[in-house]
């Protein structure tokens, strides 16, 4: 489902332009992170779970996530219409039919999403959100009771502080990375009942909040 009017947002427009070549641009660096993320989801998902893949991009992970929930559903959401179309085409090409795709803003998800998702998977995207607290509150709103939000993103470090100007130049919509302590404060401020953080891969952390 696409919006009747696309957001006039430089980030969305830029990702529209890159949607058909995004795999080639980030695939090598993204695959290990996605594989670890999918492994983590496999430990938390039930066969009938409903998973929201927030800022799904071109949907590289959608087939694997959908295979984990054969009696459930994966909903891929992205701000970019081009990414939504590319993700949908990939899923159909790979024979995935328990997945749906919606163009929406992570800070303003559809009203009818409220309380519908058992898991939220947000991988390599949180650093694009201009209001991280608002994003976490929206995630909590659409989670079911005891649902979990899983955020995988590079952790703030001296290395990333040094390279932040390059990230802002080369990554459309880059806002910033967060330390484990900052993630903890954000989740608590968004009223999650529990919070967990761990370094999943070198320089990459996973934050999990339970509603």
- Cα–Cα distance measured from residue 119 to residue 144, given in angstroms and rounded to the nearest whole number: 8
CA distances from 203 to 49, 137, 152, 159 (A): 29, 25, 11, 9
DSSP letters for 63-119? HHHHHH-TTSEEEEEES-HHHHHHHHHHHHHTT--SEEEEE-BTTB--GGGTT-EEE
CA dist., res. 8 & res. 130, Å (int): 15
Domain ranges of the chain: 10-210
Q: Which residues contact 158 (CB under 8 A, 6 or more apart)?
A: none
The reported pLDDT for the residue numbered 176 is 80
pLDDT of residue 31: 80
What pLDDT is attached to residue 210?
Answer: 98
Q: What is the pLDDT along the chain (211 residues), one digit of tens a residue?
A: 544 445 545 454 444 444 444 444 455 457 888 999 999 999 999 999 999 999 998 999 999 999 999 999 999 999 988 889 999 999 999 999 999 999 999 999 999 999 999 999 999 999 989 999 999 999 999 999 999 999 999 886 544 555 555 555 445 566 788 999 999 999 999 999 999 999 998 889 999 999 9
Superfamily the domain 10-210 falls into: Vaccinia Virus protein VP39 (3.40.50.150)
């Amino acid at each position: 489902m696409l919006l009747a009017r696309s957001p006039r947002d430089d980030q969305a427009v830029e990702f529209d332009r890159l949607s058909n070549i995004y795999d080639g641009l980030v695939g090598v660096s993204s695959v290990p992170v996605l594989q670890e993320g999918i492994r983590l989801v496999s430990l938390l998902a039930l066969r009938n779970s409903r998973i929201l893949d927030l800022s799904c991009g071109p949907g590289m992970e959608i087939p694997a996530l959908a295979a984990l929930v054969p009696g459930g559903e994966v909903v891929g959401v992205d701000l970019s219409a081009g990414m939504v179309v590319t993700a949908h085409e990939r899923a159909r090409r790979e024979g995935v039919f328990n997945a749906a795709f919606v163009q929406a803003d992570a800070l303003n998800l559809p009203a009818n999403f409220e309380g519908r998702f058992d898991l939220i998977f947000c991988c390599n995207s949180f650093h694009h959100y201009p209001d991280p607290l608002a994003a976490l509150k929206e995630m909590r709103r659409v989670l079911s009771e005891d649902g979990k939000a899983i955020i995988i993103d590079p952790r703030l470090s001296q290395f990333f502080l040094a390279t932040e100007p390059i990230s802002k130049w080369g990554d459309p919509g880059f806002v910033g990375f967060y330390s484990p302590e900052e993630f903890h404060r954000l989740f608590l401020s968004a009223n999650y009942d529990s919070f967990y953080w761990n370094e999943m891969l070198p320089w990459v952390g996973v934050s999990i909040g339970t509603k």
